[in-house]
Amino acid sequence: MSTAGILQDLTDIVRIVLDHDDVVLTMATVATDVPDWDSMSHIMILVESERHFGMKFRTSEIEDLHNVGEFVDLIAQRTEG
Amino acid sequence: MRWLPKPEYSPAETLRGCTQADEGTWRVLVSLAQTQLSNLEILQVDRCLRRLFPDRPPAWLTAPGTRLKLLGTSTFDHLLPFLRVGALRHGLWLTTSTGDYGQCTLQAGDEGHDTVLLAHDARTLLAGLNAAASASEAEDEGERIAQRIVAAWRDAQAAGCGVIQQTILPVFPSVFGNAEHRLPGSRAAAVERLNLRLQTLADAEGVDLVAVHRHAAQEGLAAWHDPALWHRAKQEIHPGAAPLYGDLVARVIGARQGRSRKVLVLDLDNTLWGGVIGDDGIAGIVLGQGSAAGEAFVEFQHFVRDLSRRGVILAVSSKNEEASARRPFEAHPDMVLRLADIACFAANWTDKAANLRAISERLAIGLDAFVFVDDNPAERALVRRELPMVAVPELPDDPSGYPALLGDAGFFEATRLSDEDRHRSEQYQANRLRRSVEPASVTDMAGYLSSLDMLLHWGAVDAASLPRVVQLINKSNQFNLTTRRTTDAALAESLRNRRAVSLQLRLVDRFGNNGLIAVVLARHDGEGLRVTDWLMSCRVLKRGVEAATFNVLLAEARRVGARHLLGTFRPTGKNAMVSDHYRTLGFDLLATEEDGTTQWGMAVDAASLLPVPMRIEPPVLARLAVGFAA
């Protein structure tokens, strides 16, 4: 799956979880840029991403993420592997 | 929740249409909640629900609203939408609030709710138990924990709240092995003991339990709990289990209000036994020892009888001749259910929605207390469409899965067993209600049939279809005009005659391919096209296939230049349902013979196509035009 495709799917998930239809994610977006992206919705976004992309993230991987781009790359790596 | 059907339309699309806070919208939301939705879709349903019906239960609901307060030691914000939508699925309105994190007792002055759900997480609750504890230390600690929980119940009850307690999730791995129970300080063993203890205490204190530990045992702990999510977010209940968790709580709330379902209406053929009693006969149906499927049907009947013994009222709705539908109950040695177990018996050819209405009237129990179990997806779709208040579970393909499915769906949730429950089926028998039902149809069949998106494929019988055609000819008893049996060789021989006309018909609908469902054999003998055999699978009865087959037959009559269409009905004792078949299609009665055989005819020139609720492939219109031209 392409980086752009992953970013688009991730955007769809974030929009539903946060209930903001106009959220636009870029590779540089960080959670604090997005209204209502708090620790509770963060967990939901991670869990729904795991379900959507059919993979499970390690706690250490999650804790290392600094922005959306790193998350997209993590998913892309896993999709290839 | 595999018993829920898939939504018919896209949930997002449906939600876009939900803008008014009226009863129609409420019903749309309830129906949507009764389909299989992803967690994100449930989240969206919840938002719509809270936007339109935020503060109080809608005026048209007879059930009181529930204001639920969650108290516990883990994070459960992620469960709240699922609790509200779970209630919605049961037609209930519910709001939620949560206590401060880690707070398990109601604080003074904390008001605005009528029900408290206590959810203790296992790790916090058993933190004081040391693996090195002696038996008496472990016992003391267990009792201290239990009494702390009871104290929280009493606080909530003193504040006027009903109490629901979630059992303790068995999150601890074994440290001792198979003999875990012999290690007094084992936390895994302590959870087991505590859950047993809570059952006794809850009975004494008037508290109802949500038995998550039993579901974790059944579905696997991994489906209910992920240690990673506990460490990351203190979520003890896995988000994947949230929809079921919400449903379990809603079942308890519904049962407390007496809103659980009370009547189980069962189809017969391929639901209580394998095969079709009207065609296969009592010796031919699959039931009992000797086949895995037969044993599975027996086990399902045992399960149904258990339901009956705990107070669920049983009824039958089957498309059958009444006498043949009753036969297995009276005479099959492996039947577990007996006629005495059935409060209302409806075996006829009228649509099932009409039958369910009639059963409801006869029993004087509302349709919203009904569960309808039928292996045929088209029947399920009809009942869902016509009677949305009836619960209609999806069934697994294999009958061995029927009992677990019905058990898991929790339609008959109860909180207490009363003496009345134990004797309910006897009461219904004593009231002599167990009479047969024969309703008049008031169902919108046209709308239903067009929703099935049917496509009828037809062609002459060829080498490829011959074996299946012979099979259908030899096993059809009910929808069979002349009941003439044959063999592959004999049929192949007669089809070689150049005056022979044969039709084999296959039906596809939105649930899939029904395969070969009807056969017509005819011969052009100078006078007209004489139909010698016409038979059809009862599975597709009342779906317009008879009329569509007639249209094809008429086209064939024109193609071969026949001036008349001629048909015969020969009674066999099993085919009474088609005695008026030709009259219904517009044929004239020509003669009645001594044995009851009737002869029918129709002039081809004067005949016209019948309206049918399906596409026919190849289309007959084009062929008719050719016929007219010629």
Average pLDDT over residues B535-544: 90
Confidence of residue B512 (pLDDT cuts 50, 70, 90): confident
Average pLDDT, chain B: 91
pLDDT for position B622: 47
Looking up tokens 């080498």 gives B463
> Nearest-CA residue of chain B relative to A21?
B44
Q: Are B229 and A47 in contact (CB < 8 Å)?
A: yes
Q: Regarding predicted confidence, which is higher, B625 or B487?
A: B487
Cβ separation of B40 and A16 shorter than 8 Å?
yes
A31 at interface of B, judged by CB pairs closer than 8 A: no
Q: How confident is the model at residue B538 (pLDDT cuts 50, 70, 90)?
A: confident
- Does B40 sit within 8 Å of A48, measured CB to CB? yes
pLDDT band at B430 (very low <50, low <70, confident <90, very high): low
Kindly give the interhelix angle for A68-80 and A3-18, rounded to the nearest 10 degrees: 120
Q: Which residue has the higher pLDDT, B49 or B290?
A: B49
pLDDT at B426 over 90: no
- C-beta of residue B482 within 8 angstroms of C-beta of residue B416: no
DSSP 8-state code for residue B530? E
Which two structure tokens, joined as six digits, stand for B3? 């018993």
Q: What H or E segment, with its residue span, contains residue B448?
A: helix B445-451
For residues B274 and B291, what is the distance between their CA atoms, to the nearest angstrom?
10
Residue B396 has pLDDT above 90, yes or no: yes
Helix (H) or strand (E) holding B399: none
pLDDT tens column, B589-612: 999 999 999 999 999 998 989 989
pLDDT of residue B274: 96
How far does A49 lie from chain B, in Å, by closest CA? 11
Q: How far is CA B298 from CA B65, B179, B314, in A?
A: 41, 36, 16
On chain A, the residues whose CB falls within 8 A of the CB of B232 are 43, 59, 62
The pLDDT score that the predictor gives to residue B110 is 74
Compute the average pLDDT of residues B19-27. Answer: 94
Cβ–Cβ of B78/A16 closer than 8 Å?
no
Q: C-alpha angle with apex B69: B65 to B72, nearest 5 degrees?
A: 150
Mean pLDDT of B6-32: 94
Residues of B within 8 A of A19 (CB-CB) are 47
The amino acid sitting at A72 is: V
Residues of B in contact with A41 (CB under 8 A): none
Tally of CA atoms within 13 A in the half-sphere of B247 that contains its CB? 23
pLDDT at B624 (0 to 100)? 52
Global ipTM: 0.89
Task: Flag whether pLDDT at B123 surpasses 60.
Answer: yes
A40–chain B Cβ distance below 8 A for any pair: yes
Answer yes or no: is pLDDT of B152 > 90. yes
Residue A35 has pLDDT above 80, yes or no: yes
pLDDT tens-place string over residues B33-92 = 999 999 999 999 999 999 999 989 999 998 889 999 999 888 888 999 999 999 999 999
pLDDT of residue B625: 43
pLDDT in tens, B225-272: 999 999 988 999 999 999 999 999 999 999 998 889 999 999 999 999
Q: According to the model, what pLDDT value does residue B628 have?
A: 41
Question: Quick one: pLDDT at residue B621?
Answer: 65
Taking the CA of residue B235 and the nearest CA in chain A, the distance in Å comes to: 10
Q: What is the average per-residue pLDDT within B380-406?
A: 95
pTM for this one?
0.85
| Per-residue pLDDT tens digits for B306-324 | 999 999 999 999 999 899 9
**Does residue A47 belong to the interface with chain B, where contact is any CB pair within 8 Å?**
yes
Residue A80: pLDDT above 80? no
Give B627's pLDDT tier (boundaries 50, 70, 90): very low
pLDDT digits (tens, 9 = 90+) for B485-495: 999 999 999 99
Task: State yes or no: pLDDT of B442 exceeds 80.
Answer: no
CA distance B186 to chain A (A): 27
Position B630 scores a pLDDT of 34
Query: Cβ B40–A39 below 8 Å, yes or no?
Result: no
Q: Provide, as residue numbers in chain A, all residues whose Cβ is less than 8 Å from the Cβ of B40.
A: 13, 16-17, 48
Count Cβ atoms below 10 Å from residue B143 Cβ, excluding itself: 13
DSSP-assigned letters across all residues of B224-254: H--HHHHHHH---S-GGGHHHHHHHHHHHHH
Quote the pLDDT of residue A64. 84
Overall average pLDDT of the B500-526 stretch: 92
